[in-house]
Amino acid sequence: MVSGFSGARAPLAGLAAAALCWLAPPALAQAPDLPPALNVPPFIGAEPPAATTAPQQPAPAPEAARSPVSLNAVFAPGDIQAIRSGLNWRVFDARASADGSHALIAESNQATPTFPLADGDYIVHVACGLAGAAKSITVAGASVSERVVMNAGALKISGALGDLPIAPSRLNVMVYLPDRDDPEAKLIIPNLKADEAECLPEGAYHIVSKLMDVAAGATTPTNSTVYADLRVQAGKLTAGVLRHRAATMTLKLVNNAGGEALANTSFSILTPGGDVIREMIGAFPSLVLSEGEYVAIARHENKTYQATFKVTSNQDRDVEVLAGQPVQ
C-alpha cells in the first residue's frame, strides 16, 4: 500500500539523482557515504558471533608466521566496485569457547582493510547499517584476498508538503519489517534520518512518515501520516518522496469577525466524530493539521463556544470562533 508516495530505484552511486519514477538501473558503480550502524535493534542480515574479548591485534608472532588478509565487500553479487565507506569489519577466531562464543581478533572501520593474521581458521563479519554478512576464511602461510557479498541496498526517504520539500527536522520516518498479516510487525528504525541513505538488507519494508509541528522550541507529532510499502534491492538505492497534505491553522476566539483575539482562552480540536486531536491554551495558538474537517472548541470565562472549519493543504489561515451564543 502506498499513500502520498513517489519514488525511484537507482544504483547506489546515484544518490543525487531526483526520485520521480521507478527505474531499472545498472549494477552498483560506487557506494554512498553511508553512516555506520545505528543504535537500533540487531542486524537483519547475518549477525556477528558472540565475542568474548575486546578488539585486539593478533598475538605477537614472527613476521613469517603471519599473512596479510585483504578484505572488501560489495552490495550485490554482480557488483565490480567495492563499497567505499560505512563499513565495520570484525575478525573472530573460528574456534568457539566452552560457552559458544568466539574471540574477537581484530576490528576496522576502513572500507578495504588488511589484517596480518597467523595461520588458522577465522570468521569475518562486515556490517553496513542494519545489514550484516559473515564468511569463513582460512589462513595457511600465504596472503588471502576475500570479497564478501552483502546482499543489501540503500533506502532514502524525503518528505514534501505539496510541491515544497519538508525539512528533515519536521519528519519522523519509521521503518518496519512486515510479516504476512501485519505491516508494522517489527520496528527496526524508529527515526530514519530524512534525506540520508540507510543501508538495509534486500527485502520488503513498511514506511510510516509522520509530520511534526515545530513551534516555540517544542516538537509535537501532528495527525498527518503517510504510509508506503517499498522493496530494497541489492546494489540499488530505493529513493522516495512521501507527500503530506496539511496546513497551519491559527485559532482565535473573537467577539466579532476580524476582531481582537481574547486572551486566557483554551482550545480543543476535534474530528467530526469527536476524537480529540490537540488541546492548547493562548490568545491565538497555532497548530499543523492534516487536510480535512474539524471542530474547534473554545473555553473562556467558564463559557464554551465552538466552530467547524476545513483544512486545505498548503493553505495556512486563521480560524475564528465567535464568542456569541455559548454552547449549552
Whether 78 shows a pLDDT value over 50: the answer reads yes
Q: How many Å apart are CA 199 and CA 130, to the nearest integer? A: 6
Q: pLDDT value at position 310?
A: 97
Q: pLDDT value at position 35?
A: 33
Q: pLDDT value at position 138?
A: 97
Q: pLDDT value at position 84?
A: 93
Q: pLDDT by residue (tens digit) across 23-35?
A: 223 333 333 333 3
Spatial contact of 221 and 208, defined as CB atoms under 8 Å apart: no
**Ramachandran bin of 82, using left for φ above 0, alpha for ψ from -120 to 50, beta for the remaining angles:** beta
Q: pLDDT by residue (tens digit) across 132-176?
A: 999 999 999 999 999 999 999 999 999 999 889 999 999 999 999
- Choose among 281, 294, 284: nearest CA to 318: 284
Name the helix (H) or strand (E) containing 223: strand 218-232
Q: pLDDT value at position 50?
A: 73
How many degrees, rounded to 5, is the angle at CA 94 between CA 89 and CA 98?
A: 120
Q: pLDDT value at position 178?
A: 95
Q: pLDDT value at position 218?
A: 82
Q: How many Å apart are CA 40 and CA 30, to the nearest integer? A: 26
Please name the amino acid found at residue 91: V
Whether 204 shows a pLDDT value over 90: the answer reads yes
Spatial contact of 322 and 254, defined as CB atoms under 8 Å apart: yes
Q: Residue 180 carries which DSSP code?
A: S
Confidence of residue 2 (pLDDT cuts 50, 70, 90): very low
**Ramachandran bin of 310, using left for φ above 0, alpha for ψ from -120 to 50, beta for the remaining angles:** beta
Q: pLDDT value at position 92?
A: 97
% of residues, the chain, pLDDT over 70: 81
Q: Cell numbers at residue 321, please?
A: 470562533
Whether 312 shows a pLDDT value over 70: the answer reads yes
Q: Cell numbers at residue 174, please?
A: 519509521
Q: How many Å apart are CA 256 and CA 276, to the nearest integer? A: 26
Q: Which residues pair with 308 in a beta bridge?
A: 295
% of residues, the chain, pLDDT over 90: 73
Question: Please, what is the average pLDDT of the chain?
Answer: 85
Any idea which residue has 492534516 for its cell? 290
Q: pLDDT by residue (tens digit) across 183-202?
A: 999 999 999 999 999 999 99
Whether 210 shows a pLDDT value over 90: the answer reads yes
